[in-house]
Chain A
């Protein structure tokens, strides 16, 4: 690799990167714990994942300045896997996710992203926000007013503390204040320690304890595929946002491979699958982070904090974490899409809403994205399948010219054929395809059909203005479906 470029990516912005990395590490802790709780695993699983992914991505990622760690989108996908089969299968699925993502990167599939329309992406982030929010609701069950008061206090600090200073992340201040109040007042409310264990150990290399057979693969593969796709979708979206914020370019295929390597490492060190985080990356860039060093510092500092603060972290009340997650869901949600819902095209709105509803019903982001992509493909096909045929009578009514405008393919052929009148008293018909494009064998079949019907009435058919692609397609398969073999 180019040494100057490498030096620039690592040491081009040392001071900014170190400071921003520390800020990100502080902001990562509550999220990593809360996402572990969503996935119903010990907080250590999310913290180890965040440490491993952030550090590995610093070296192998394609977008310097972007922060990757344990995320809500990924945590939401693994809930049923953990519930049905346990942590070891999650770790195996994480490793397989990484392998799939590396394949994505190697085969340069980052460009497949362009097939995900923006209304699906907006639906994706909105659905993610809703799921993160609803995942907090169980924490309120059976709790008294203290829970509500502490959540409200957490949110108040998060939104108002930036008025005092922006140097310290307000989420961290909120967590510290609320934890202090809860511990000091001795409130009887659930804390992180009640939901899982936390140890101050460094992560160690372990091979997941699972039977290596086809049955295992059949269990984890669907999860890994969903995780790989959702992880890449969010990572590449985040990369685009960081590209825009910093006005620089990034290597999306390298990022895909990097995400894969990071997840493999996370899986072997007891962490859950993760991906790039929009919120944290924005915090990083805003705090002055630009280079690879920022992600390395974020991961490293996170581990130091866990090492030092492990015994305090278990005392964090769930109220504080629920408050932070509510903030995360509010900032993840794309509010402008709701504000402008009546302005955007109906089909776009329908795709967005379908994506959201599918995700909320199935609890699976990847199914929602798939449904959204399929629906928008159908809408698109419907939109471009409108064919316009204009009829012009020439040569004293002996000749008729049909001018065809539009895309001729499987979805538009029935519309096309119905616009011709076959039982007219003319000698010759000219089909002008100057403003048309033939796309598939349905198109050729339709033309053959039209030709045949005219010939049954003893009318000769001529073509005009076929473009080159259409002509080669017609030459290749034309006449096959026609009985006369003209």
Chain B
């Protein structure tokens, strides 16, 4: 029992990331009809928003510390972050430590702007072009974006720790009357955070007029266009929203997996599989499949399972995707006629 719960928990953080990226992919695909291979890059940029903010907050100037000397006997020069000067040492240190959660605020405008720029600057010219062209141009864009990040931040992963309050683990079992389910705090935070975002996105689509029009547009773009509603503008906003969702997923993922320039592509390939399994164009399908595959992957990594079928953890997601595509071509919750030709 404990082992099962632990594996489910272990699958949740990856599953959350898959679900959030797949949600954004589906939003873009469902509304704009565009297959966005650069969506993983948005996730990666989000993670680097956390890195950037951490570096910005740690910007320092050198101060001579009279009380200490270096090994030559000269007064020691120490780096003092500007935030220390402004808020005092304790508060300043706290701000730096909390840079990842703070990056949420920082990243939203950045990601929305990036999404707008992408849609207005590039994607909108590809609405009428074949899907293959859309795949290719966004694939090119993904390469460019990740190379730019690599240019500025190098090829190595950059550790971006969570606030000290959330480092370490706790006994999840104690909460539910079981024993020995040790689970890291931050992963729980990530899961709750992603649930909040997913709820927010669904709420937004369900309860606002904007969301209603967008959902109508996803179902039948032409008719909504005929009603005289400016769908294009709303779709641009949707692109910004999808970018923000991917970005937030990335920001909060930074402590789990130190950001590197190719993390976007790594997640994108899997997220596409998730979208296909969930059903192209189905938002609930994307979320469901994201968590399902994350948990499945976690179970496949159990030593007992690997003993029986070696390497299954490496291929389980692809295997499931192949089986699903062949038996339920529209995915778990896909609509009829989406991308059939």
Asked if A pairs with B, the answer is no
